[in-house]
Structure 1
Amino acid sequence: MNLTTEDKRLLEELCQQHKVSFDKVVKLLDTVREYEFKERRTGVYDALREILSSKTGETQ
């Protein structure tokens, strides 16, 4: 995902305010974008669930 410098700064700030991992949010957004234009989105929920349950990129 291509975020502008300002978008990235705002997203990082929001993640810090809400104690959410910036890395996980970016991975979630990338995954949704990856499945966005597929004819069948089979597996998107499993992919999102896997990201949410992973220990990497925990709260900063």
Structure 2
Amino acid sequence: MPNPLRSGPTAMSTLAAPILSRRGDALGALSLVAPDEGGPRTAAVTALRRASLAISRAAGL
């Protein structure tokens, strides 16, 4: 079976779409898990946003 990450932009877009569509849910869950505005929550939100951007760029979205 071919690796979907190395099978061209169509495969990557198909793989990335469900991940990116759940980003809002993940951001909402962070407020429940880490209610403080500073420290771990801020770091997690920043990491999630960077990862989402990297996924979007890799998928060509």
Q: TM-score, normalised by structure 2?
A: 0.39
Q: TM-score, normalised by structure 1?
A: 0.40
| Structure with more of its chain in helix, by fraction | 2
